Amino acid sequence: MSSQSFSRPGAVDLSALNAAQPQQQGRPAAGAGGFVIDVTEATFQSEVLTRSMSVPVVIDFWATWCEPCKTLSPILERLAAEYEGRFVLAKIDVDANQAIAQAAQVQSIPTIVAVLRGQLVPLFQGAIPEAQAKQVIDQLLQMAVANGVAGRADPIPGAGPAADAADAADAEPQEEPSDPRFDAAYEAINAGDFDKAAAAYQAVLAESPADAEAKAGLAQVDLLRRTAGVDDAAARVRADAEPTDVDAQLLVADLDVATGDVEAAFDRLIGTVRRVFGDDRERVRSRVVELFEVIGPADPRVAKARSALANALF
């Protein structure tokens, strides 16, 4: 795969790695920040597959003899710190973990892939500039939102400069089982059929109108439909030029949420609420509430935005 391509979750089966060895806790990567971890065959289930149910996991396949890896790995580690838990970077030494490399069909290094809900997402091969790597990560986060993986990881115990390595034993992730009611929606999203995915969520809501996960999934699919194919730069130029253009502000807020910049999206929309009136204000308020569903009511950013929205309205 070229360094500029981006694929949806593929059919590569990583499940065979689950039971190869007793599962252990992974170790924070030496010298890295709180969202980077060294992963082995023994820790792959807990640190990658299980973790990917709630937060995207980016895998950096590398080796000590690989010169391009020495350029790319620090870039990915900086991005992991910058995104503050929107994804976790898992570093895998291919020489020491050949079974994982074979399962992921790694042919050269560095190879960068991601895992969402246990599904492999090929990203790119070879060293690329930081701006381009950031663009790929943003695309991954947009795909994660569409797949209902919109969580934020806590700093990995033992991964900070002041952390104690003994803390790592207390952080075993809890597996989040998949709900078969949503399999059709996930398959449709992976195929790029957002209308079919929305219909699948609506079918669940027809049976269970109060189902919070189905509501969130439908809101996430609607977000992906609104942002698919949008020229990000052009949208932002328009929004900056016309602060009271509601359509422009709504679109850029959607783009911010899709790429993980949730606070910027809420700040933009609540600022717009203060500038517009009547039906326009109601449209913006409704979008803010819809984005609450996308992010999740328990997220502290939602609680903060809910309070700010009330102040702006009243």
* Percent of residues, the chain, with pLDDT higher than 70: 82
Here the contacts of 121-126 (C-beta below 8 Å, separation 24 or greater) are 121/7, 121/8, 121/9, 121/10, 122/1, 122/5, 122/7, 122/10, 123/1, 123/6, 123/7, 123/58, 124/1, 124/2, 124/3, 124/4, 124/5, 125/1, 125/2, 125/3, 126/3, 126/68, 126/72
Whether 69 sits among the annotated catalytic residues: the reply is: yes
CB 79 within 8 A of CB 129: no
What is the separation of C-alpha 192 from the centre of its chain, rounded to a whole number of angstroms? 17
Mean pLDDT, range 291-312, rounded to an integer? 86
Query: Which of 41-45, 166-170, 284-288, 298-302 is predicted least confidently?
Result: 166-170
CB 94 within 8 A of CB 106: yes
Of the listed 14, 57, 58, 66, which one is catalytic? 66
Taking the model in full, what pTM does it have?
0.54
List the one residue out of 57, 78, 61 whose CA is nearest residue 69. Answer: 61
Q: Assign 3 a pLDDT band (cuts: 50, 70, 90).
A: very low
Query: Which of 32-36, 184-188, 276-280 is predicted least confidently?
Result: 32-36
Q: Assign 148 a pLDDT band (cuts: 50, 70, 90).
A: confident
pLDDT digits (tens, 9 = 90+) for 201-252: 999 999 999 888 888 888 888 988 898 888 989 999 999 999 999 999 999 9
- Domains and their CATH numbers in the chain: 15-154 (3.40.30.10), 177-228 (no CATH), 229-314 (1.25.40)
- Is the pLDDT higher at 176 or at 93? 93
Q: What is the mean pLDDT of the chain?
A: 81
3-class DSSP state of 90: strand
List the one residue out of 251, 206, 261 whose CA is nearest residue 225. Answer: 251
Mean pLDDT, range 95-114, rounded to an integer? 89
3-class DSSP state of 216: helix
Please identify which residue in the block is written with the tokens 């503050």: 84
Q: Are strands 111-116 and 119-125 parallel, antiparallel or unpaired?
A: antiparallel
User: In this predicted structure, what is the pLDDT of residue 216?
Assistant: 84
Task: Tell me the C-alpha distance between 121 and 11, whole Å.
Answer: 9
User: In this predicted structure, what is the pLDDT of residue 235?
Assistant: 94
- Is the pLDDT higher at 184 or at 278? 278
User: In this predicted structure, what is the pLDDT of residue 89?
Assistant: 95
User: In this predicted structure, what is the pLDDT of residue 266?
Assistant: 95
User: In this predicted structure, what is the pLDDT of residue 288?
Assistant: 95
Token pair of 239 as six digits: 């929004």
pLDDT digits (tens, 9 = 90+) for 256-271: 887 767 889 999 999 9
Dihedral (CA of 84, 189, 51, 202) sign: positive
pLDDT of 75 above 50: yes
Whether 11 sits among the annotated catalytic residues: the reply is: no
User: In this predicted structure, what is the pLDDT of residue 14?
Assistant: 55
Most confident residue range from 40-44, 102-106, 144-148, 238-242 = 238-242
User: In this predicted structure, what is the pLDDT of residue 17?
Assistant: 54
Residue 291 carries which side chain, given as an amino acid letter?
Answer: L
Of the listed 14, 48, 69, 103, which one is catalytic? 69
CB 114 within 8 A of CB 123: yes
User: In this predicted structure, what is the pLDDT of residue 5?
Assistant: 35
pLDDT of 167 above 60: no
Mean pLDDT, range 303-307, rounded to an integer? 92
User: In this predicted structure, what is the pLDDT of residue 155?
Assistant: 82
Mean pLDDT, range 272-277, rounded to an integer? 96
User: In this predicted structure, what is the pLDDT of residue 18?
Assistant: 52
